[in-house]
Amino acid sequence: MVIEIKEMTRSLAQNSMLWACLTDIAEQVNWHGRKLAKEDWKHVLSAALYQQDVVPNIDGTGFVVLGKSTSKMTVREMRDLIELAQAFGARQGVKFGDESRRGFDWVAAYGRAA
């Protein structure tokens, strides 16, 4: 038998909050002349937070971000990603919806304790 002690991975509530923020950002932010999908914003923001690497794709026509899966993030890492998404969105003038605002409340209440 092996017992492993490690930090808990992100909660379903955190995941929901992140995707609500990403949806609001995707709907409202024009990034360098382009509208990005919420999945793209997840990569952009997590790459910024974790200083992730990029490599050329296999046909040499673009690049791929070597990132960290949000499902494997700890509660603390996901909290940091939600905070980054909220701060970035605020700087871009995003008007966050009710679900995203619940994320603000969660981070305010539990953010530093998580």
Number of domains in the chain: 1
28 within domain boundaries: yes
3 within domain boundaries: no
Tell me the per-residue pLDDT of 25-76, one tens digit each, with 9 for 90 and over.
999 999 999 999 999 999 999 988 887 888 999 999 999 888 778 888 999 9
Q: How far is CA 26 from CA 2, 10, 44, 53, 89, in A?
A: 43, 22, 11, 23, 10
- pTM summary value: 0.79
1 within domain boundaries: no
Q: Which domain holds residue 28?
A: 12-110
65 within domain boundaries: yes
Distance CA 109, CA 26 (A): 26
6 within domain boundaries: no
Exposed/middle/buried for 98, CB within 10 Å: 0-12, 13-18, 19+?
Answer: exposed
For residue 9, the 8-state DSSP code is B
User: What's the CATH code of the domain at 36?
Assistant: 1.10.3790.10
Tell me the per-residue pLDDT of 94-103, one tens digit each, with 9 for 90 and over.
999 987 777 6
